[in-house]
A and B are shown apart, each in its own frame.
Chain A
Amino acid sequence: MTPDATDVALLRALLADGSLTAKDAGVQAGVSQPVAWRRIKRLEEAGVIRGRRVRLDKAKLGFGVTVFLGVKVSARGRGSVEEFERAVTAIPEVQLVQHVLGVYDYRLKVVARDLEDFERILRRRIMTLPGIGEIESNVLLSEEKNEPVRI
């Protein structure tokens, strides 16, 4: 779907605060509550809004380390790739698994309590994955995000 200016304004309001009611989001987008409600419902039905997420402070909850891994998979054949994906998806500390094209085959995001905890996950869970090849680790120092609907 092609969102118009009202959709974009509603998305922007909801990105900043996903707990807004249709009425409050509508106020920010300059439309009435029923219009806002219908638009948001349409964005949800079209799959533009996939869901709502709570944002937690990882560090305050004791998860101090985020590491991005670039991984090569030496698996041959479809079955072994599926086996790798199944096994890597099952690791709870791995939040993100992306199949990519480039110098690596997969990108992983791992959240750990500290570097020692990360090392344990890396050695026991990741380095033992079926078909795993070369691994590159980069520790996240800081992250800033641009609003996606600025475009």
Chain B
Amino acid sequence: MLKIDDTDRRILRALQRDASLTTAEVAEAAGLSTTPCWRRIERMERDGVILGRSVDIDLRKLGFDVTVYLRVRIDKTVRGAFEEFITAARGVPEILSIQTLLGRVDVRMDVVARSLEHYQEILKTRILDLPHVADVEALMLISEVKNDESLSL
């Protein structure tokens, strides 16, 4: 594992709290001066500890009112079923995330739609047609109680 010291952790904690901080602001929060802070951030980016920055988008504000988590079981008796399923699922734009899991469920997918009718249409025309699906269960998002990807560093 990479060597991450307490100063690095303080830098990462500051960035987790607010990723829009400038290097000078991060340095101040982590208690060091700007140049060494910049060097440490640079090093952690090079080592792939910091993968990058992104914006957090509220899809509901863009008109996608429905989010459904599909729990899929795949017919594993067929050879190559997993790969074929995932390749096909990648091509459906309304599927935002595909996760493979170890447990009762094989694959989880996040699906967004503009409305319930739209969701039904996606389900019928795109998802149930995916190859090797043995069983699909749906969980519909009502509300997000917590969404905080911060790690306890």
Contact = CB atoms under 8 A, between A and B. Distances in A.
Query: Do these two chains interact?
Result: yes
Interface in A101-151: 101-104, 106-107, 111, 136-146, 148-151
Contacts of A15: 54-55, 57
Given A52-B54, A53-B53, A60-B48, A144 B90 contact: yes
B78 interface: no
Contacts of A145: 96-98
A15 B143 CA distance: 23
Contacts, number: 193
Contacts of B90: 144, 146
Interface residues of A, number: 63
Contacts of B59: 148
Interface in B82-139: 90, 93-105, 108, 112, 137-139
Nearest to A20: B53
The size bracket of the interface on B is 35 or more
Interface in A17-31: 17-19
A144 B101 contact: no
Nearest to B142: A99
A49 interface: yes
Contacts of A60: 1-2, 47-49
Contacts of B145: 85, 88-89, 97-99, 106
A51 B20 contact: yes
Interface of B: 1-2, 4, 12, 15-16, 18-20, 47-59, 61-64, 69, 90, 93-105, 108, 112, 137-153
